[in-house]
Amino acid sequence: MIAHNWEELALETSSDLDWEAYVGLRKKEDGAVTLRVPHGYPTGKDVKEKPKILGELTRAIARFSEAFSDVARSSYEQRSTRDGFLKGDGGQSLSLSSTTPDFGYSHLSLYVQLIRQLRDPHILAITKASGLTAQFDHRYISRNLERAMFLPDGTPVFENLWAPRTHMRHTGNDMVGLACWMALDGLSHLFPDSAEHEISAGLQSEWEELAHRFADDNELDAKASLFSKNWEATLHLLQAALEACIRIAPPVSAESRELYHLLDLLLHSRLTGQDGDIWGLKGFYHVWESACLEYAIGEYGASNVFTCDPAYWPSGLSEWQRNWSRIFGEDGLVRKPDLVVKTHGDGPLPTYLIIDFKYYAENYVKKEFLGEEPPFPPDLKFLRNNVNEFAIQWKSYQDIASVEAYRWRLMQHELKSADASQVKIELWFPVDECKLPCVHHSKWMSGLTLVGKPARQIIAAYSKKFRLMA
């Protein structure tokens, strides 16, 4: 699928009305490849550090996918149980029956699996470790003297010898070399920061040696890549190399069969008749909310957290869960405020701050929330003409109704007071860091503030905690 020089990659953002849009690499109808960035990220030809932006987004998506792959989603957002949330535009979704899960491809998650599998020295030894044999061959005495026992007269005695290549214990094909080549290719494009900080120099040198040997044997150009303009020619060559490996020496061990399965998925998913490439995430607001929650807890301190949405904080304290059950889950309704912080005001009574994380474009926030009146439920006439516009307007109305309900629940069951000034509300939305500070006070709801937060700073901090070699 993938593009050209990353510095020439076009950046784009989704529509202001698409709050659950896809974020990641995307192939357009004309064949051009663009990187769709989240709301609040810079776009345009003059943006620098495009490879770094891609690395930040892939690491953030990969971290979220691993940490929250079991988060329940509604029926209209079906996902593959294997790929977690890594689904998006152009992704294959083939339901074999009503009872089986969707089957999908996610190249991003497959590259993570491939890189992690190749850290095992036993896997690398498939192509370079000599086997041992009890058969005596005088031609190999000189290279086996360190294994010999010597008689008093100096005669060497061998129990076993290093076997020639034809007698190796593991198969001697180039499948591991192919895997190392693909791992380094993906590492340099998808996870550029991990090469320096997470993978040891010794392991990288092993990969590079095997990859160079594979490239020389298969006449791969030094500029060849599955992430370049000429990716199709490279793909066909790699597919032929994998087929040759299997024909010469079929995988026997469990490790080699697993490795072959990963390579086969990465190299042949395009042959299904559908585009099997998934290089991003549909519904990026999940990542934004998770990243904001982590950022906010770091800003206010875990000791001041009253409760939060447990779906995005699996390691939350039991006290947070008890507070949620007591205040927001008492009547059985599913009310999950993103974050409630207990603050210390000037008066004798404690105050609370409700923070709701919203993945809305700045233009949409100004249009819907900063007017003279609050968002109203849309007229049903809009449903016939534009379903998407109706849905987003309804969600805006529902968002305000929800935070107002959170505030009243706190006042009634925690503060035992009708004084609304003791509970403040903030709606966080992503903005470009160049536009900070960005704070707007509502004209129609007391205590409501809309706060623009630096999208790239928050997502980059979230992505840094992803461990490729975990």
- SS3 state of residue 460: helix
Q: Are 179 and 151 found together in one domain?
A: no
Share of the chain above pLDDT 70, in %: 74
Q: Are 407 and 318 found together in one domain?
A: yes
Which pLDDT does position 384 carry in this prediction? Answer: 65
Q: Are 196 and 153 found together in one domain?
A: no
pLDDT tens profile 337-385? 999 999 876 666 778 999 999 999 999 898 889 888 888 877 776 666 6
Name 429's bridge partners. 452
Query: Cα(38)–Cα(16) distance, rounded to whole angstroms?
Result: 11
Please give the C-alpha separations between residue 176 and each of 32, 163, 192, 213, in angstroms, as whole numbers.
32, 20, 22, 11
Look at residues 216, 249, 272 and tell me which one is the last residue of a structural domain: 272
Residue 89 lies in a domain: no
Pairing of strands 22-27, 149-150: unpaired
pLDDT tens profile 292-350? 999 999 999 988 999 998 777 766 577 888 888 888 876 656 678 999 999 876 666 77
Residue 417 lies in a domain: yes
Residue 50 lies in a domain: no
Which pLDDT does position 449 carry in this prediction? Answer: 95
More confident residue, 301 or 1: 301
The pLDDT confidence band at residue 180, using thresholds 50, 70 and 90, is very high
Which pLDDT does position 99 carry in this prediction? Answer: 37
- The structural domain count of the chain equals 3
Query: Cα(288)–Cα(85) distance, rounded to whole angstroms?
Result: 13
Residue 39 lies in a domain: no
pLDDT tens profile 12-35? 888 776 666 788 887 766 666 788
Q: Are 242 and 177 found together in one domain?
A: yes
Q: Which range among 94-98, 112-116, 148-152, 250-254 shows the weakest confidence by mean pLDDT?
A: 94-98
Residue 69 lies in a domain: no
Which pLDDT does position 226 carry in this prediction? Answer: 83
More confident residue, 74 or 186: 186
Flag whether pLDDT at 223 surpasses 60.
yes
Q: Are 291 and 212 found together in one domain?
A: no
Determine the structural domain holding residue 334 and report its residue range.
Answer: 285-463
**334 burial class (0-12, 13-18, 19+ CB within 10 angstroms)?**
exposed
Q: Which range among 6-20, 269-283, 356-370, 412-426 shows the weakest confidence by mean pLDDT?
A: 269-283
Look at residues 272, 297, 316 and tell me which one is the last residue of a structural domain: 272
Residue 37 lies in a domain: no
pLDDT tens profile 41-60? 988 777 888 878 888 898 89
- Whether the bond into 437 is cis, omega within 30 of 0: yes
Name 26's bridge partners. 34
Q: Are 198 and 161 found together in one domain?
A: no
Q: Are 235 and 304 found together in one domain?
A: no
Mean pLDDT across the chain: 78
Which pLDDT does position 254 carry in this prediction? Answer: 81
Q: Are 403 and 389 found together in one domain?
A: yes
The pLDDT confidence band at residue 69, using thresholds 50, 70 and 90, is low
The answer to whether 285 and 85 are in contact (CB under 8 A) is no
- pTM here is 0.78
More confident residue, 134 or 468: 468
The top-scoring range by mean pLDDT among 28-37, 137-146, 273-282 is 28-37
Residue 6 lies in a domain: no
Share of the chain above pLDDT 90, in %: 23
Query: Cα(24)–Cα(38) distance, rounded to whole angstroms?
Result: 9
Look at residues 250, 272, 294 and tell me which one is the last residue of a structural domain: 272
Q: Are 430 and 382 found together in one domain?
A: yes
Q: Are 159 and 212 found together in one domain?
A: no
Q: Are 210 and 294 found together in one domain?
A: no
Q: Are 395 and 253 found together in one domain?
A: no
Q: Across residues 252-257, what is the average pLDDT?
A: 80
Residue 255 lies in a domain: yes
The pLDDT confidence band at residue 132, using thresholds 50, 70 and 90, is low
